[in-house]
Amino acid sequence: MGVPFDKTLCRLEDITDGEGKGFEIELDIFVVRRGETIVGYHNECPHVISPLNWADGSFMTLDRKYILCDTHGAEFQFEDGYCVSGPCMGDRLTPIKVEIRNGDVVLREL
């Protein structure tokens, strides 16, 4: 179980549908959006423990189907962070708990 939080990260509309946004809240984290669904993970690829993105907000594949690690191209499922291709296939991103509350993206647990 992680550390409980109740911190607003941003408004849902600040994140383009199918894209993501990174934050530094004690740790490097990111959230990605699919419609009205939001998920979040530590920004740390299980392959060599490095951040996934090279550019701000760049966390998804071009077709917006998978979360992408820019370093060596690992692809992770949106909903559970499970790696489906790349050098860390079978590993997972570490989840954080986020929710949408009155249009705000709120960090609940780190």
Q: Which residues bind ligand FES (CB under 6 A)?
A: 45, 47-48, 50, 69, 71-72, 74, 86-88
**Nearest distance from residue 82's CB to ligand FES, in Å?**
14
For ligand FES, the closer CB: 57 or 87: 87
For ligand FES, the closer CB: 58 or 71: 71
C-alpha distances (whole Å) from 39 to each of 27, 48, 67, 72, 107 are 16, 22, 11, 22, 10
**Nearest distance from residue 17's CB to ligand FES, in Å?**
24
Residue type, 88: C
**Nearest distance from residue 88's CB to ligand FES, in Å?**
6
For ligand FES, the closer CB: 12 or 45: 45
- Mode of pairing for the β-strands spanning 83-85 and 75-77: antiparallel
Strands of the sheet containing 66-68, edge to edge, are: 66-68, 75-77, 83-85
